[in-house]
Structure formats: structure tokens, C-alpha cells
Amino acid sequence: MPLYSYAGTMSGRLREMPDVLKYHNATHADRPHGSKHGAEKMKSDQEIKDLLRQLRAVANDERCPDGERDNARRLYEKTLRRNDLTDADINVEISLVGFRYDSPLEKRLLNQIIGHETDGSRIESWTKRYVSHTVFYKLTETQAESVRNQFKIYKKSLAKEHELFYSAFVQKNDLGVKSKDPHKELTADELAEIRAMLAYMEAIKKTPVYKAGAKLLTGVKQK
């Protein structure tokens, strides 16, 4: 179902607005009026809200002709109804919010959280010159706060899991160093970490590597 139907021609500011024009053309070009195959090119929540903000700006602009303002207002109200939105949903302000990361892995995690928070819509990010290890996203205040909380928690968890995985990788490939105190009694937390490391080791495939002076590849029989 198209987000709105508009049988008339578009002119003035409405025609100059790319999102509005794209929707109008997608809904009506070479299709009977009311076709359900129209507005599929713009269906993310963010794109719909951006479109609505543009329509509302025209509807409230006293410099525009009355007919154009009426058209914009009609499209705005119809799009709200079709998408179960209200004026309050459109009033949420979006700003550029920066997040600092310390490694490529943390940046990847941050992008994952952003994608989850924005319902998987297209992720756009920006960087600023002379601001290192910081990436910026367009988010609402609520989204930004949620991302901050998730990133703070998940990056600590990821760092811990990454360390366990690294230990398991070292042990799996026989790169470990003998303990200085082999008779040391392990704590409950240390035992839990060892069990987690062993679970990782089961999933890791041993990497074949040539060793100096060896006749065999590590983990691979010499032919």
C-alpha cells in the first residue's frame, strides 16, 4: 500500500524536494491510481519521518502559495495515518552524535549496535578531521542514550571474550608458556575461565605452521 495517494501534479517547493518527488513518481508513474506497488523505494522509518518533516515544513510556510500548502498538508496527514504515526513521532529531533572507539573491533561492534538500534536501516557515519578514533551518527536523543549504554556494556564483554578466545587460540596451537607456579591453587573464577577457554578450543581449527628445523607441519603430516 502506498504511503499516500496524490492524483494532482506537483509544483513549487514540493517538486524541488527529492524525497517527495521520488515518492510521488514511484507511486504514480505507469501505475493505476492507488496501486500497491508504489512507495517501496523508501520504507525505512527514518526515511518516512524525513519525508514527513519536509511536507510539514511546506504546509507551515506562509511564503508558499495556499494551494501548495494545502497539498503538502493533505499528503502529510495521509502519510501519518497510513504509517500509524502522530505529530509527536515527527517532533523528535535528530542530531550528529559522536562515539569513541579504541580498536577496529570496537568500531565494528559500534556499527552493529547502531544497526540494531535503527532497525537495520542504512547506516551512515561521518568522521571529523583531527578527531581520531571517533565516528558520528545521526540519532535521536533516545537512540543515542541507548547506544551509549549498550556500547559501554558490550565492549567490556567483548574484550573479555576476546581475551578468552586469544588464550584458547594460543593453547590450541601449542604456543603456551609454562606456568611459573604450576602448583598454584586456582580460584573459582579462574576455573570458570579455563572451562570457557576449553569450549573455545573445541571450536578452533588448529593452524598449520612451519617450524624451523622441524620435519612436520604443526598439525599436518608431512607427505
Domain spans in the chain, listed from the N-terminal domain onward: 12-89, 94-203
> To the nearest 5 percent, what fractions of the chain are helix, strand and coil?
50, 10, 40
DSSP states of 62-104 as a string? TTS-HHHHHHHHHHHHHHHHHTT--HHHH---EEEEEEE-SSH
Q: Highest-confidence range of 73-77, 87-91, 189-193, by mean pLDDT?
A: 73-77
- Distance CA(149)–CA(134), nearest Å, equals 17
Write the pLDDT tens digit of every residue in 52-72: 888 888 888 887 888 888 988
Predicted TM-score of the model (pTM)? 0.56
Q: Which amino acid is at 4?
A: Y
Adjacency order of strands within the sheet including 134-140: 94-100, 134-140, 125-126
What gap in Å lies between CA 50 and CA 56, rounded to an integer?
10
Q: What is the pLDDT of residues 135-193, one digit of tens each?
A: 999 888 888 999 999 999 999 999 999 998 998 998 888 887 777 666 677 688 888 88
**Could you tell me how many helices (H) and strands (E) the chain has, helices first?**
8, 3
